[in-house]
Every structure is written in C-alpha cells, then in structure tokens.
C-alpha cells in the first residue's frame, strides 16, 4: 500500500487542500487514484483571531506564516511516511472562513486590517441593504462591511480596487487570479442561481447607493466560478510564497477557492436537494439544500449556494465551542495543579461523556456561550455567562450538559424557522467539526435538539481541507457534464455511510425544557452586554 501511494505522489495523482479555519490552518494531501480519495498526509498550524481596536482580525503576516508552516508540516509528513518529497501534485484548492472584509488599492496594498466574519458592527448597513434588495443581507457579509464603511465615511473607500474574502485573497496571491468559488461569493453578495453570477439587479441597486465613487461594484468583486472550472495555476511567486524551501513546482492548476461552508457540504456529501449538514467549531452553522424557494425573507436565514450554485438556506451562529474550550482549559489547569497526567483529548472525552450522565434538562442550569455578538438573538456583543438558581442540581454532569447544549441552542432557534415556518423537511443531517470529535456525544445531543437523525462519517474529522481537496480532484477528474453530486456520491462516498444516531426521546424532552429556560434568560445576557464593559 505504501509503495502504491508513493507512486501516486510521484506521478501527481494527488491533490492538496488547504483551509484557513478559525483556530487552525490545515493542509491535506489526498490520493486521487483510490476510491474515497482518502487523506494520505497532513499538516496543521494553530492560530487565533485578535480583538484589536474592538475589531476581530487576523494579521496577514500570520496568514502566510500559518500557510507556510502547515504546508511544510504536510511536506514533512509526506517525506516521513512515503520516503518521497512533495514537489508536485495534480491540483490545489484553497478554502477559508467565509465573509469578512479585505480591501486593496490599485497597487495591491491592503486598505484596512482584515475584518472577520465574527464582527457585528454592520447592523445599520445590513438592515438597509436587506430592505433595498428585499433579500437578507447578514452582518457578516462583505457587502454589509463595505456599505457600513461607506455610511461611516471611512477615507479608504474611494481607493478600493479589489474586495475579496480570505480564501480569495490567498488564491489571488498564489495564482494571480482574482476569482472566487460561487459558494464563497454568495457570502459576499447575493447570487442569481439562474446565471451562476452576482445578481445583476442588485449590483445596479448598490451602484446607485455608491454613485459618488469612481468604481462600480462588479469591477471590484472577484470573478465568480463554479465547481469544476479551472481558476488559474500556481505562479513562480506563488510557489515561493507557499513553499519558501523552493521544492514545490510552479504551474500546478487550482480549483476555485471556496468558503468553509461549501467545503463542509462537500466533505459530508451534502450538495444535492433535501440534504443538509451542520458544521460545529468556533461557529456553528447548518446548510440545507433547498428544493424550492423560501416563502419570505428571514433575517435569521442566509441564502447562499453550494459550490455548484444550487440555492442553500444557511442558519449561521457566531458562537459555538469557544466557551466550551475555555471551560476545558480551566479544568486542564486543575489537572496540572493536582499532578494528574490527562492529555487534552482524553480530558475532552471524559467531560463530554460525563454530560451524558446528567439530568435530561441539565438540572435547571443554563449557559450562554456568547464570546461575540449573535445576530439571531439580536446581541451586538457577547458576554459568556453561566446561570443557575440556588436549588438547581449543580453537578459536573449537568454543567457539562448545559455547556454542550449552549453550543447548539442558537442554531436551534434558527432551524425552527425552516422546519416549522417554512416546512423544510430533512431525512438526515450530516455533522462535522470539532464538536463531533468525541464519539456519539455531540451527535446524540444535536439529534435531540433538532429532532432529526444526525450522521457523522469517519472522514468528517478531516473537515474543509479535505472538502477543498475533493473539489480540486473533481476539477481534474470529472467526466463531461458530470454533476458534483454524482461525482461525490459515486466516486467518493459510495462505501462511506457513516454512523447515524436517531433522536432519543428523553434527550429531546430535556433539550426542549433547556431551550425554554434559555429563551427566558436572554434578557440576562442583554443586561450583561449593557452593564459589563
């Protein structure tokens, strides 16, 4: 097996996916000569966003440090496992967190620090554009950031020559091409799925709002491309930027860069109608591929697309595991203090499994995991809170259960709109991300929260880096007119059925009681935001 993989690497029958997530940059190499296109090597780099001048950001220098470090780790893993250097590959794809604000002038200099999806500073712009377009424009979207900067009379606006996402920025620097996959583009500006491009009428409406500037919006946005299209190739400058050692060859083709939502759909084979997936990490979001349009505009629901351009209803919540991770870190300090030798993964597993021993309704405990603002519950900022009554059943099991329930509580509020108001029906949801690393726990609790079976595949832990590597492979391997959903179902996931858990009625009843207390206590969270500065 090792020799066969080595030969595939030498012959370039592989593809590389790199994803810039909220807390980790990951690179994977997959073997495209084998069924399931399994990862054969990987590398990663941990990083964190920064809150600077009340803006959540990542420094662009850190972007390149992380990419180079993760690629070098990937190359080292390849050399160690298969005894051959990583000098070439069939194709490369870049994925990253969606949305945000990255703007550059005509000499390619950044005009502002990167403003990430986590910021909730664009409420005025988002509401105005939603009213103008008659289409929900969330605060995270790039166009909301741009319009808010215009409303704030920021001095850089007249100098904008290019606006893009993080994936689009990295792709541009590596290939020289200012393009974007349609899924990521749909988080910048509304997409018309009939033409697989930006909505022309809305472009014109925005230009009327921006009539004082010399640029037109279409001219500063990236070109929209669909899955399967080619999006340039690695330039000599890009090769040196990705791999400063000089080993990686230039000329490698790239697929369109995509957002983490789109690569999550690919990694869970959730790109056809009536399928859906939940990605749960620093943020949590659900993606449901629609059979028909929604009946009205919902400010809680984003309308985006699959990497192939199909309409998707997205429920996005800014906060998921950050508060949970902070509590585990606290318990880890106790671990060190007492001299216990419990590795971090084992500590997570122990605390997750402890949650299953708790009362179904968490014993009356309530947790709010709001590190940042949360538009679904109209929170402009976040204050992590843990609340209990004096007679609540305060145990470790109930504490962990409430903390885990809080990671999916806001998602539940948004999903209720789709399942109860819009009558969207799902047979199953696919789960992926850090919340599902401990076997069965997050999967079981989410099934109870959303009243739907949840499946987690063995490959789901590879996440978006694997998803974008699959999109790179699809670009190279697809047959003429072969749809993305057919390629994934027949060539990648044919033997990967995953593990499915049905909702447990006791857990469902317990979560229903928890969410009612959660909703009743949202005023406490609002008071904390107003009072604690």
Q: Of all helices (H) and strands (E), which one includes residue 39? A: strand 39-46
Tell me the pLDDT tens digit for each residue of 484-523.
Answer: 999 998 889 887 767 899 999 999 999 999 999 999 999 9
Structure-token pair, residue 309? 């351009």
Q: Write out pLDDT tens, residues 200-245.
A: 999 999 999 988 899 999 999 999 999 999 999 999 999 999 999 9
Domains located in the chain, CATH noted: 2-269+458-492 (3.30.420.40), 322-434 (3.30.420.40)
- What's the whole-number mean pLDDT along residues 361-388? 94
Whether residue 74 contacts residue 242, with contact meaning beta carbons closer than 8 Å, is answered with: no
Residue 505 CB contacts under 8 Å (≥ 6 apart), including other chains: none
Residue 493 has what pLDDT? 87
Q: What is the pLDDT of residue 461?
A: 55
- Helix or strand (DSSP H, E) at 531: helix 522-531
- Residue 463 pLDDT more than 80? no
pLDDT at 423 exceeding the cut of 80: yes
Q: 121, 203, 220: which is closest to 163 by C-alpha?
A: 220
Strand partners, 162: 104
Closest listed residue to residue 277, CA positions, set 316, 308, 321:
316
Residue 189 CA to residue 196 CA, distance in Å, equals 12
Rounded to whole angstroms, how far apart are CA atoms 253 and 256?
10
| pLDDT at 427 exceeding the cut of 90 | no
Residue 47 has pLDDT above 80, yes or no: yes
Residue 60, Cα to own-chain centre: how many angstroms? 19
Is the separation of the CB atoms in 218 and 198 below 8 Å?
A: yes
pLDDT interval class at 462 (50, 70, 90) = low
Provide the H-helix boundaries in 373-440.
Answer: 396-416
3-state class (DSSP) for residue 52: strand
Q: Which two tokens stand for residue 492?
A: 């990648």
Q: Which residue's structure tokens are 């027949």?
A: 490
Region 389-403: mean pLDDT is: 97
Rg for the chain, CA atoms, rounded: 23
334-355 pLDDT, tens digit each: 999 999 889 999 999 999 999 9
């Amino acid at each position: 097996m090792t020799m066969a993989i080595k030969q595939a690497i030498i012959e370039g029958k592989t593809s590389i996916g790199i994803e810039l997530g909220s807390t980790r940059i990951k690179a994977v190499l997959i073997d495209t000569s084998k069924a399931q296109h399994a990862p054969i090597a990987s590398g990663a780099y941990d990083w964190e966003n920064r809150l600077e001048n009340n803006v959540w950001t990542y420094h662009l220098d850190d972007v390149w440090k992380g990419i180079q470090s993760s690629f070098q780790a990937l190359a080292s893993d390849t050399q160690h496992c298969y005894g051959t250097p990583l000098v070439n590959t069939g194709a490369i794809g870049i994925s990253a967190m969606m949305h945000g604000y990255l703007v550059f002038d005509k000499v390619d200099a950044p005009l502002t620090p990167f403003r990430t999806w986590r910021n909730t500073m664009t409420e005025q712009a988002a509401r105005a554009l939603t009213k103008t377009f008659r289409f929900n424009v969330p605060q995270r979207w790039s166009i909301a950031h741009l319009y808010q900067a215009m409303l704030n009379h920021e001095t850089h606006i007249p100098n904008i020559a290019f606006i893009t996402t993080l994936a689009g920025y990295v792709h541009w620097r590596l290939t020289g091409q200012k393009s974007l996959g349609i899924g990521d583009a749909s988080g910048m500006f509304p997409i018309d799925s009939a033409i697989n491009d930006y909505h022309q009428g809305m472009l014109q409406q925005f230009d009327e709002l921006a009539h004082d500037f010399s640029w037109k919006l279409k001219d500063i946005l990236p070109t929209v491309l669909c899955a399967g299209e080619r999006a340039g190739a690695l330039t000599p400058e890009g090769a040196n930027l990705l791999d400063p050692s000089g080993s990686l060859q230039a000329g490698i083709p790239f697929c369109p860069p995509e957002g983490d939502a789109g690569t999550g759909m690919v990694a869970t084979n959730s790109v056809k109608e009536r399928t859906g997936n939940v990605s749960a990490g620093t943020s949590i979001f659900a993606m449901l591929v629609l059979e028909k349009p929604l009946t009205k505009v919902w400010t809680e629901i984003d309308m985006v697309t699959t990497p192939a351009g199909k309409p998707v209803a997205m429920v996005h919540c800014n906060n998921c595991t950050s508060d949970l991770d902070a509590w585990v870190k606290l318990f880890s300090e106790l671990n060190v203090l007492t001299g216990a030798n419990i590795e971090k993964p084992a500590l997570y597993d122990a605390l997750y499994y402890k949650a299953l021993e708790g009362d179904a309704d968490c014993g009356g405990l309530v947790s709010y995991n709001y590190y940042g603002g949360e538009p679904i519950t109209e929170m402009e900022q976040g204050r992590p809170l843990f609340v209990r009554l004096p007679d609540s059943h305060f145990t470790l099991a109930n504490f962990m259960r409430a903390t885990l329930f809080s990671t999916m509580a806001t998602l539940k509020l948004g999903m209720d709109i789709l399942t109860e108001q819009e009558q969207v029906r799902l047979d199953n949801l696919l789960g992926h991300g850090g919340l599902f690393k401990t076997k069965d726990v997050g999967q079981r609790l989410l099934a109870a929260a959303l009243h739907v079976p949840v499946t987690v595949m063995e490959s789901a832990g590879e996440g978006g880096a694997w998803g974008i590597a699959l999109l790179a492979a699809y670009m190279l391997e697809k047959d003429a007119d072969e749809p993305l959903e057919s390629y994934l179902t027949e060539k990648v996931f044919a033997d990967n059925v995953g593990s499915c858990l049905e909702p447990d009625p006791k857990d469902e009843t317990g979560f229903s009681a928890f969410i009612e207390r959660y909703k009743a206590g949202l005023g406490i969270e609002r008071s904390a935001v107003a009072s604690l500065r």
